Amino acid sequence: MLRILTAGESHGDGLVGILEGFPANLYMDMDFINRELDRRQRGYGRSSRMDMEKDKAIVISGINDGYSTGNPISIMIKNRGTYVNLVEVTRPRPGHGDLVGALKYGHKGGRNALERASARETAMRVAIGAICKLLLRELDIHIYSHVVQIGDIKVLRRFPDDMNWKDIAGVVDNSPVRVLDKGAEESIIEELDKAKEKGDTLGGVLEVVALGVPVGLGSYAHWDRKLDGRIAQGIMSIPGIKGIEFGLGFNLANRLGSKVHDEIFYKEGSYYRKTNNAGGIEAGVSNGENIVLRAVMKPIPTLRRPLQTVDMESKEGVLAQFERSDVCAVPSASIVAESILAYILADEIMIKFGGDSLGEVVANYSSFMEGLRER
Annotate 68-102 with b (16+ C-beta within 10 A) or e (fewer). Answer: bbbeebbbbbebeeeeeeeeebbbbbebbbbbebb
CA separation (Å) from 308 to 95, 322, 323?
Answer: 11, 12, 15
Out of 282, 289, 326, 347, the only residue in the binding site for ligand EPS (CB under 6 A) is 326
Going residue by residue from 109 to 148, which x/- string records binding to ligand EPS, judged by CB under 6 A? ---------xxx--x-------------------------
For 207, the enclosing helix (H) or strand (E) is: strand 204-211
Residue 307 to residue 152: CA distance in whole angstroms: 21
Out of 175, 325, 334, 339, the only residue in the binding site for ligand EPS (CB under 6 A) is 325
- By CB under 6 A, tell whether 309 contacts ligand EPS: no
Residue 191 to residue 278: CA distance in whole angstroms: 33
Tell me the window of 48-56, 191-199, 274-282, 341-349 that interacts with ligand EPS (CB under 6 A): 48-56
- By CB under 6 A, tell whether 324 contacts ligand EPS: yes
Q: Which is nearer to ligand EPS, 75 or 292 (CB)?
A: 75
Tell me the window of 101-109, 173-181, 321-329, 356-364 that interacts with ligand EPS (CB under 6 A): 321-329
235 in Cβ contact with 295 (< 8 Å): yes
Sorted by sequence, the CB contacts under 8 Å of residue 178 that are 6+ apart come out as 43, 145, 146, 147, 172, 206, 330, 331, 334
Question: Considering the complex, what minimum distance in angstroms separates the CB of residue 319 from ligand EPS?
Answer: 17
Question: Considering the complex, what minimum distance in angstroms separates the CB of residue 45 from ligand EPS?
Answer: 10
- By CB under 6 A, tell whether 302 contacts ligand EPS: yes
- By CB under 6 A, tell whether 47 contacts ligand EPS: yes
User: Which one-letter DSSP state was computed for residue 218?
Assistant: B
Tell me the window of 254-262, 320-328, 338-346, 358-366 that interacts with ligand EPS (CB under 6 A): 320-328
Residue 210 to residue 322: CA distance in whole angstroms: 38
Q: Catalog residues that contact ligand EPS under the rule CB under 6 A.
A: 10, 47, 49-50, 53, 118-120, 123, 302, 323-326
